[in-house]
Every structure is written in C-alpha cells, then in structure tokens.
Amino acid sequence: MSMFSLAGKAALITGAASGIGRAAALLFAEAGARIAACDLSDDVHETVAAIKATGGEAKAVTMDAGSEADVIRAVETTVSEFGRLDVIYANAGITGGLPDFFDTTAETWAEVLRVNLIGPFLAIRHGAPAIIKSGGGSIICTASVAGLRYGAGPVAYSASKAGVINLVQHACQSLVGSGVRVNAICPGLTETGMTRPLYDHARAAGKEARIGQLNPLQRGGLPEEIAATALFLASPASSYVNGQAIAVDGGLSTSHPVAPSTQLAARAALDKFKDD
C-alpha cells in the first residue's frame, strides 16, 4: 500500500467549495478517503458531485467554520455518515479585505479571528476526540506565509495566521500520546476564490506575468500544489511530522521582500496623521 494512501479513512475538510479546499477534497478522495466536504457556500455540492463522478464517497455539509455549533455538527455528521473520523483539514479562511493598518476596524479583526483562528481551534477541540476513537490520525490547519513575518498580507489576516501556527504547536503538545498529529501549511500567493480579485485585476491590466514575482520561482501557486502537501500531512508518509508549519510558497518566506508600494502606502498613512 502506498505511504500516501488514505484507504478506509474519513476526512473532514472545511473551505471545500473551491480553491485549496476543493483541490484537497478531490486529492484525498483519489487517495481513498471518504470526504465530508464542508463550506458555507452551496458550491460545496459541486465538490461532492466531482468526487462521486470518479467513484468516490463524499457528503456535503453546509457550515460556518467559525461557529462552534456548526463544527460540532460537522464532526457528528462525518462520524454518523462514515463511522469514523481520521483526518481534519481546517482550511477555511478569509482575508478581511486589504485595508492598511490604521483603516482596519475592530469589527474586521473580530471576524477574521473568528473564522481564521477560532475556527481551527474548534476543529481541533471537537474533532480530536473523534480521531482518537478511530485510533489516531492527522489534523491540518491552513496558516500562511503571512503568519511567519511581515510583508505577505494585511494585519488582521497575518496576525490570525500567526496564531494558527502557535495553535498547532499548543495542540500537538496537548494531544501528547493520543496518536493525533497537528500541523500547519503556510501557502504563499495561490490562486483561489479568496485571491481571485488580485489575479483578475492583474490579468485585466496585462500584468499576469508579474504575479508571484517576489518569490524565487517567480510565479503564483496552484491549489493542487498546496493540496499535495496536505495529503502528505494526512497520510502515513508524514507519521513523524508533528507541530510544524510548512511553507509552500515558491521560496517567498526565505526573505519576504516588501514591494516599495507597500512602504509608500505606510508612509502616506503616517503623513495623514501628521497633517491632522
């Protein structure tokens, strides 16, 4: 059997309606897993249909990843449908828009933290006991290179993803001896529903070739490339990997270079205060 096989396993994936979540759902199903595809969007049914079209097993669950009641229901639905839970990929997330530091509101902070950080906590808190009952398994959280250091995202988003990295470290220690591993993936710029406006703007301006130019590979990522790392972390191939934050970013996090326009915007914000 392949080290990357998920045959006989059941996996719950949030944010599965599109982008990285959909790519992971399709790849996990191809590896043999039965999939609880979870998302707030009804497009999650398209993910399930795609899995079933290739002979896989999947169940659509409409849920808000930052709602405790919804997370509990998603875990219970997975166990009820498939008889077990072995893998959770807490992937759902939002950017909160792209405001500069001083224009970011407390309301934006609260919503970004609710989905991006409290959501993965709830997935671990309520999913780990079910995974333990199945004999152990893997929990994966989507963080971001923006959570490693400044220069790859807006403030609330970046702080929430830094929190995810610390969360998986705490979680793996809190699950000592349980057989449950907890890790994070830190994607770089990847074309998903969340980043589509940026990609669309670049293409409309004839600047698509500049997407991802700040990383050594000089390109953006594909959802399937992030999903491949998620499969590794979900599978026996990563049986000795625990509490880690793995960057999948074309090399961006080796330096996190900041575009001059970002620094100019920060200076302009400060100048505004000087003028007031």
In the predicted model, what is the mean pLDDT of residues 189-209? 63
DSSP string, 221-248: B-HHHHHHHHHHHHSGGGTT--S-EEEE
Does the active-site annotation cover 157? Answer: yes
Strand pairing partners for 209?
Answer: none
Average pLDDT, the chain: 90
Q: One-letter amino acid identity for 118?
A: I
What does the alpha-carbon distance between residue 218 and residue 226 come to, in Å, rounded to a whole number?
17
Mapping DSSP to helix (H, G, I), strand (E, B) and coil, where does residue 16 land?
A: coil
Q: Whole-model pTM?
A: 0.90
What does the alpha-carbon distance between residue 38 and residue 27 come to, in Å, rounded to a whole number?
15
- Report helix angle 44-53 to 19-30, nearest 10: 20
What's the distance, Cα to Cα, between the start and end of the chain in Å? 67
Confidence of residue 150 (pLDDT cuts 50, 70, 90): confident
Summarised one tens digit per residue, pLDDT across range 215-237 is: 888 888 899 999 999 999 999 99
Count how many Cα atoms sit within 13 Å of the Cα of residue 181 in the half-sphere of its side chain. Answer: 20
Which of 89, 150, 157, 240 is an active site residue? Answer: 157
Summarised one tens digit per residue, pLDDT across range 87-100 is: 999 999 999 988 88
Q: One-letter amino acid identity for 140?
A: I
Residue 142: C-alpha distances to residues 57, 134, 267 (Å): 24, 23, 31
In this prediction, residue 146 carries a pLDDT of 93
Burial 14-29 (b: 16+ CB within 10 A, else e): bbbbbbbbbbbbbbbb
In the predicted model, what is the mean pLDDT of residues 14-20? 97
In this prediction, residue 190 carries a pLDDT of 80
Count how many Cα atoms sit within 13 Å of the Cα of residue 189 in the half-sphere of its side chain. Answer: 21
Confidence of residue 14 (pLDDT cuts 50, 70, 90): very high
In this prediction, residue 213 carries a pLDDT of 72
Higher pLDDT: 204 or 35? It is 35
CATH class of 10-275: alpha beta
